[in-house]
Amino acid sequence: MAVGARSGHDEPDKRAGGAFGDDTTGDDVTGDQQANPPGGGAPGDGDGGDEAAGGSGRTPKKQRSFWKELPLLVGIALVLALLIKTFLVQAFSIPSESMMNTLQKGDRVLVDKLTPWFGSEPERGEVVVFHDPGGWLEGQTAPTPNVVQKFLSFIGLMPSAEEKDLIKRVIAVGGDTVSCKEGGKVVLNGVPLDESSYLYPGSVPCQDSFGPIKVPENRIWVMGDNRQNSLDSRFHQQLPGGGTVSNDEVVGRAVVIAWPVTRWATLPVPEIFDNPALNKAMSAAPLAAAGLAGALPLVLWRRKKLAVRHTAEQ
């Protein structure tokens, strides 16, 4: 009686095995589907039933567990961090007071390492990080980092753990002539520099005279902003290079103070280094030398001609 009430008295319900009362799929499909199930099989056929239930006959793939994907994500993040540190930017810690007040001890700066890969060279006024040219850090001991600090500094997530790098401001580049008299201003290519915008308050441009020094090509002359507390190019003139630093030793330009957040600031080039007179003065010396070299043969020829005339008159 229960079967008749569901399927009708005149037509018996057709189900797998021909049994009456088996009601597993009858309520979920239309009459046409009961008569001709998907897949071309008979009602109740195993293949047709699977396609009707699953649509495609295939069970969906189970999503991978987050914990199984985590090591892969961590690995990708470490590789990206290493690539960024190697080719793009790197964090450095300021270990001394030689660049105050521009940079304070404990600041973290981000250094642009990308542009040197495209042939960019240090320019006047930039704050740069460079490797010890040899002997600049002699006798100074750096704190010994632990294994975690070494690893994080290796991939660039912490400042350099080796602490064998220095940070100073570029004052002169290859071809420039720089000098300073005690208590006076630094003179670059004959132009006195007004450094008041970045020198440590109360600091004089130089407490001891130096120069004039002609900076060799592909080298730079660097000085700290805290002139009375900076062992810069002035104090290493007895070393190879005469106190200058090779461009190849430069890691990159410090572009921003990243930490602490209360000290966040960019590190632009001071306006005094945009003075066109610096380039004119630098180019005037080679022109004068070229003019002298060109005039010398003419002077010798004229003297020889006068000597011949004087001999003929006698």
The three-class DSSP label of residue 274 is helix
Q: Would you place residue 184 in the very low, low, confident or very high pLDDT band (cuts 50, 70, 90)? A: very high
Examine the residue annotation and report whether 168 is marked as an active-site residue of this protein: yes
pLDDT at 48 over 60: no
pLDDT at 11: 46
Question: For residue 32, what is the enclosing H or E element?
Answer: helix 31-35
Q: Which of the two residues, 176 and 76, has the higher pLDDT score?
A: 176
Q: What is the mean pLDDT of residues 63-80?
A: 71
pLDDT at 274: 93
Q: How far apart are CA 164 and CA 123, in angstroms?
A: 22
166 DSSP β-pair partners: 130
Examine the residue annotation and report whether 96 is marked as an active-site residue of this protein: no
pLDDT at 312: 54
Most confident of 66-70, 166-170, 282-286: 166-170
Q: How far apart are CA 81 and CA 102, in angstroms?
A: 28
Q: What percent of the chain lies above the pLDDT cut of 90? A: 45
Kindly name the residue from 98, 179, 203, 230 that is annotated as catalytic. Answer: 98
Q: What is the mean pLDDT of residues 203-208?
A: 92
Q: Taking a C-beta distance cutoff of 8 angstroms, is the pair 221, 305 a contact?
A: no
pLDDT at 38: 47
State the average pLDDT for the chain.
75
DSSP type of residue 14 = P
Per-residue pLDDT reduced to its tens digit, 262-285: 999 999 999 999 999 998 765 544
Per-residue pLDDT reduced to its tens digit, 208-254: 999 999 999 999 999 999 999 999 999 999 999 999 999 999 999 99
Q: Which of the two residues, 296 and 111, has the higher pLDDT score?
A: 111
pLDDT at 247: 96
Per-residue pLDDT reduced to its tens digit, 84-111: 655 578 888 898 999 999 999 999 999 9
Q: Taking a C-beta distance cutoff of 8 angstroms, is the pair 151, 161 a contact?
A: no
Q: Which of the two residues, 60 and 259, has the higher pLDDT score?
A: 259
Residue with tokens 């500094």, as numbered in its chain: 153
Q: Which of the two residues, 144 and 192, has the higher pLDDT score?
A: 192
Kindly name the residue from 93, 113, 160, 168 that is annotated as catalytic. Answer: 168
**Over 163-217, what HEC string results?**
CCEEEEEEEEECCCEEEECCCCCEEECCEECCCCCCCCCCCCCCCCCEEEEECCC
Most confident of 18-27, 94-103, 284-293: 94-103
